[in-house]
């Protein structure tokens, strides 16, 4: 990490994926393979959560979670569940109520990342049910919105051509949607790039399955490109890095150069050849202006001798300014903090003696 930053274990949690924090300071973590949702509480606020409780289990890949009006929403492939009020979640059993059951049942790219937008709508990506295909149902390879306040509850497309987004957030100033997308497989070790995209309005198409990254035309579907404009990535990330959760730094703890910068959890590659080596398994930052972004490594080290012992899955900036990182391979949630005194010491070590 850069000088001044320190990392510690905030909690030990089985297979944590998307994170959410309620008004009482209780953290929640969805999961993929574990089929559980955990409630996590650092009661004495010392930077380590003493309480970790399973509040839902036996669900199908409940990766995505979101909180609105003091209630937790859980996305388990084809069903969105809602809890009751979270005031005493650590003291009482949690009851789940299905509020939407019309999502596709496909498990291939079926796990979700969900969140409520500034418009109050629930945003739900629906991944392509394949590596590369052109499904008849336009709900696939898209980001949908759902208004839970009306009846009937109907999905409405927000963005098309999105192969598999498992992380998004809204810019703190422009309110545009920034989201990651996982590039297709089996076009080689170094192609195509995974993507960071920006959707400032509803109805944009981001290329899948016709084009990938900045300029890769798909060998099977590229010639069938429809007569419409594709929105290119705002930033081409590394090939097969599997970018997942993202978060803008808005707390007061991180130094000014990091404020309003987007942090990206790169879950890491799985199918590059041994000679090529793995990519990702790190935290990067998208730096610069919207039309001139560049990727900068913030944390690395989860990949040692081409073997991964950790895989970052989601990010959340805590109200105290620290950064929480879910690692679904190491089964922990990390806490990253900044200390000016440590930064000064680190800088001094790099400065030649006068």
pTM: 0.96
Assess if residue 50 is contained within a domain.
Answer: no
Assess if residue 77 is contained within a domain.
Answer: no
Cα distances from 203 to residues 100, 156, 174, in angstroms, run 23, 10, 18
Q: In what order do the strands lie in the sheet with 71-76?
A: 64-68, 71-76, 79-85, 97-100
Peptide bond into 225 cis (omega under 30): no
Domains held by the chain: number: 1
Ranges under pLDDT 50 in the chain: 351-354
Assess if residue 149 is contained within a domain.
Answer: yes
Q: Which two tokens stand for residue 122?
A: 């629930």
Asked if 337 and 320 touch (Cβ cutoff 8 Å), the reply is no
Assess if residue 260 is contained within a domain.
Answer: no
SS3 342: helix
Tell me, what's the pLDDT at 347? 62
Assess if residue 200 is contained within a domain.
Answer: yes
Assess if residue 223 is contained within a domain.
Answer: yes
CATH number, domain containing residue 108:
2.120.10.30
* Residues contacting residue 136 through CB under 8 Å, at least 6 positions apart: none
Residue in the structure block whose two tokens are 């979670």: 65
Tell me, what's the pLDDT at 98? 98
Assess if residue 156 is contained within a domain.
Answer: yes
Q: Residue 247 belongs to what domain range?
A: 102-252
Assess if residue 176 is contained within a domain.
Answer: yes
Q: pLDDT exceeding 70 applies to what percent of the chain?
A: 98
């Amino acid at each position: 990490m850069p000088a001044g930053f320190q990392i510690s274990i905030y909690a030990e949690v089985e297979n944590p994926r998307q994170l959410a924090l309620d008004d009482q300071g209780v953290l929640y973590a969805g999961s993929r393979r574990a089929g559980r949702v955990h409630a996590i509480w650092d009661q004495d606020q010392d930077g380590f959560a003493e309480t970790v409780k399973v509040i839902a289990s036996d669900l199908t890949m409940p990766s995505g979670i979101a909180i609105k009006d003091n209630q937790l929403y859980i996305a388990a492939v084809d069903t969105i569940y809602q809890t009751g009020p979270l005031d005493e979640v650590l003291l009482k059993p949690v009851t789940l109520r299905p509020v939407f059951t019309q999502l596709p049942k496909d498990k291939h790219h079926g796990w979700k990342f969900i969140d409520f937008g500034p418009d109050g709508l629930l945003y739900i990506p629906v991944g392509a049910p394949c590596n590369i295909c052109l499904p008849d149902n336009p709900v696939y390879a898209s980001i949908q919105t759902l208004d839970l306040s009306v009846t009937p509850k109907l999905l409405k497309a927000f963005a098309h051509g999105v192969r598999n987004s498992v992380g998004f957030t809204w810019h703190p100033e422009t309110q545009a949607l920034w989201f990651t997308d996982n590039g297709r497989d089996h076009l080689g070790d170094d192609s195509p790039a995974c993507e960071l995209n920006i959707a400032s309005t509803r109805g944009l198409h981001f290329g899948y399955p016709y084009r990938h990254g900045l300029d890769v035309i798909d060998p099977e579907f590229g010639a069938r490109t429809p007569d419409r404009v594709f929105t290119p990535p705002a930033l081409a990330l590394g090939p097969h890095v599997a970018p997942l959760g993202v978060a803008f730094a808005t707390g007061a703890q991180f130094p000014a150069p990091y404020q309003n910068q987007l942090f990206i959890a790169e879950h890491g590659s799985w199918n590059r050849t041994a000679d090529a080596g793995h990519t990702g398994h790190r935290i990067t930052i998208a730096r610069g202006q919207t039309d001139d972004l560049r990727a900068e490594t913030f944390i690395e080290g989860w990949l040692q001798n081409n073997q991964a012992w950790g895989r970052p899955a989601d990010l959340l900036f805590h109200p105290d300014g620290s950064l929480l990182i879910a690692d679904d391979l190491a089964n922990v949630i990390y806490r990253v903090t900044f200390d000016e005194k440590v930064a000064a010491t680190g800088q001094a070590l790099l400065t030649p003696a006068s």
